[in-house]
């Protein structure tokens, strides 16, 4: 799907991005409407949460940042930039876990909203993991987010071999005499896989932030509630398919080797 040639200059890179974008939207023509509808439900529902005190200020900050990463994530995927996709996903999950911590442990915002957060903020993900193990009634929405946090930490966010090599140094590119691939070669089924991975994770993040909406008794329109329910069923159908299970194992095992 993606441009697979040695990029000579910035103009070739930009034209390659737009080529990838158009091809991606074509290949997802039967699925991309879910993204638009989910985005609308996210904005309409979560924007109604009123900022009152540090608790909801923290939630609003993290929710807004997560929504920015939501756009960056899909924009990167459609342009065949998996490293940036990974990075956006990891940051979104990280922020959501902080919001989840405040929801369950009221007062955590006092530790988070400081100029230099301490070790308790830095180790928040481990804290939630430990709580899940010791008390299964805590952080019940966190399991898949914790799983993918680790998976997306292996490529993209850091300048280590795993992050640098993700999709950039490939056998396919080497066979064509291209030493470094500026875009990742993503076929139609791979694109679909990464698309649903992102949708599934952002739907789970939405459910975490929606806890604050429920706390304030925000009224969700029946039509939008149905959109969320329909999207949940669509994602469940895909993640339970053999196609997904095979690609999940192959994608993340291969990235970690």
**Percent of the chain surpassing pLDDT 90:** 63
Task: Render pLDDT for 179-235 as a digit per residue (tens, 0 to 9).
Answer: 567 888 678 888 999 999 999 999 999 999 999 999 999 988 888 889 899 999 999
Tell me if 2 is assigned to some domain.
Answer: no
User: What mean pLDDT, rounded, does the chain reach?
Assistant: 87
| Nearest of 34, 153, 30, 16 to residue 78 by alpha carbon | 16
| C-alpha angle 143-219-211 in degrees, rounded to nearest 5 | 20
Tell me if 3 is assigned to some domain.
Answer: no
Q: Above 50 in pLDDT, residue 256?
A: no
Tell me if 219 is assigned to some domain.
Answer: yes
Domain carrying residue 159: 10-256
Q: What is the DSSP letter of 219?
A: P
Tell me if 181 is assigned to some domain.
Answer: yes
Tell me if 4 is assigned to some domain.
Answer: no
E strands of 179-222, at which residues?
none
Tell me if 5 is assigned to some domain.
Answer: no
Check residue 166 and give its pLDDT.
59
Tell me if 1 is assigned to some domain.
Answer: no
pLDDT band at 129 (very low <50, low <70, confident <90, very high): very high
Task: Render pLDDT for 98-109 as a digit per residue (tens, 0 to 9).
Answer: 999 999 999 999
Q: Above 80 in pLDDT, residue 172?
A: no
| Structural domains counted in the chain | 1
Helix (H, G, I), strand (E, B) or coil at 46: helix
Q: Above 50 in pLDDT, residue 257?
A: no
Tell me if 190 is assigned to some domain.
Answer: yes
Distance of CA 122 to CAs 41, 116, 189, 217, Å? Answer: 31, 10, 36, 31
Q: Of 128-137, 175-184, 191-200, 234-243, which range is least confident?
A: 175-184
Check residue 130 and give its pLDDT.
96
pTM of the model: 0.89
């Amino acid at each position: 799907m993606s441009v697979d040639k040695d990029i000579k200059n910035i103009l070739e890179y930009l034209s390659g991005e737009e080529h990838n974008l158009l091809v991606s939207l074509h290949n997802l023509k039967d699925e991309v409407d879910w993204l638009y509808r989910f985005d609308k439900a996210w904005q309409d529902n979560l924007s109604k949460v009123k900022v009152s005190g540090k608790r909801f200020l923290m939630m609003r900050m993290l929710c807004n940042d997560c929504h920015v990463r939501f756009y960056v994530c899909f924009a990167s995927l459609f342009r065949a930039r998996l490293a940036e996709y990974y990075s956006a996903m990891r940051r979104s999950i990280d922020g959501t876990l902080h919001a989840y911590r405040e929801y369950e442990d009221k007062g955590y915002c006092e530790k988070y909203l400081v100029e230099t957060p301490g070790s308790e903020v830095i180790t928040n993900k481990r804290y939630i993991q430990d709580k899940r193990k010791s008390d299964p009634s805590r952080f019940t929405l966190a399991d898949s987010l914790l799983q993918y946090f680790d998976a997306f930490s292996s490529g993209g966010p850091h300048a280590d071999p795993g992050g640098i090599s993700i999709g950039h140094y490939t056998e396919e590119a080497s066979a064509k005499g291209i030493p470094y691939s500026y875009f990742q070669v993503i076929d139609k089924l791979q694109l679909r896989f990464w698309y649903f991975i992102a949708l599934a994770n952002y739907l789970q993040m939405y459910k975490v932030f929606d806890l604050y909406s429920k706390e304030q008794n925000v009224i969700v329109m029946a039509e939008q509630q149905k959109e969320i329910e329909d999207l949940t069923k669509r994602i469940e159908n895909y993640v339970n398919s053999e196609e997904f299970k095979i690609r999940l194992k192959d994608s993340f095992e291969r990235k970690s080797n």
